[in-house]
């Protein structure tokens, strides 16, 4: 079984997220999503999510491409997660291109292009301007 992992906040879930998850799942047989916890988002990213970790987790678990959702608590856990979950492919959006190449010693690293016309930031900006 080929295992794939990706990371993210997945707040204000939209079709760009679904596209990423669908394409990540296509890289293997089993997709693990490491979901940023509320504490990690606030303490490390200075971001407050609209939906709580538990709400975001429930939404991800309802998506047919996602096989397992685990918490992301810190930046450093990626290297550990690859070993812990026997990951074959690490997938991220291409806005992170090159940032996780250090994982190539452990697994294949794939950067997928983003859905250009949609993002959580764009949604928040447009809602604030209404």
User: Looking at residue 66, what is its pLDDT?
Assistant: 98
**Could you give the residue numbers annotated as active site?**
45, 47
User: Looking at residue 92, what is its pLDDT?
Assistant: 96
Contacts of 94 (CB under 8 A, 6+ apart): 111, 112, 113, 114
Distances (CA, A) of 90 to 8, 109, 130: 12, 5, 38
Tens digit of each residue's pLDDT, the chain (130 residues) = 999 999 999 998 888 899 999 999 999 999 999 999 999 999 988 888 889 999 999 999 999 999 999 999 999 999 999 999 999 999 999 989 999 999 999 999 999 988 766 666 666 666 667 6
């Amino acid at each position: 079984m080929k295992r794939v992992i990706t990371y993210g906040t997945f707040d204000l879930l939209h079709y760009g997220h679904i596209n990423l998850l669908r394409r990540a799942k296509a890289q293997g047989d089993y997709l693990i999503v490491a979901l940023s916890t509320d504490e990690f988002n606030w303490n490390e990213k200075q971001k407050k999510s609209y939906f709580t970790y538990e709400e975001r987790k429930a939404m991800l678990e309802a998506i047919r491409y996602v096989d397992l959702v685990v918490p992301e608590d810190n930046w450093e856990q990626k290297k550990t997660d690859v070993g812990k979950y026997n990951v074959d492919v690490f997938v991220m959006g291409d806005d992170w291109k090159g940032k996780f190449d250090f994982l190539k010693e452990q697994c294949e690293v794939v950067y997928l292009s983003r859905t250009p016309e949609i993002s959580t930031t764009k949604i928040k900006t447009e809602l604030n301007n209404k």
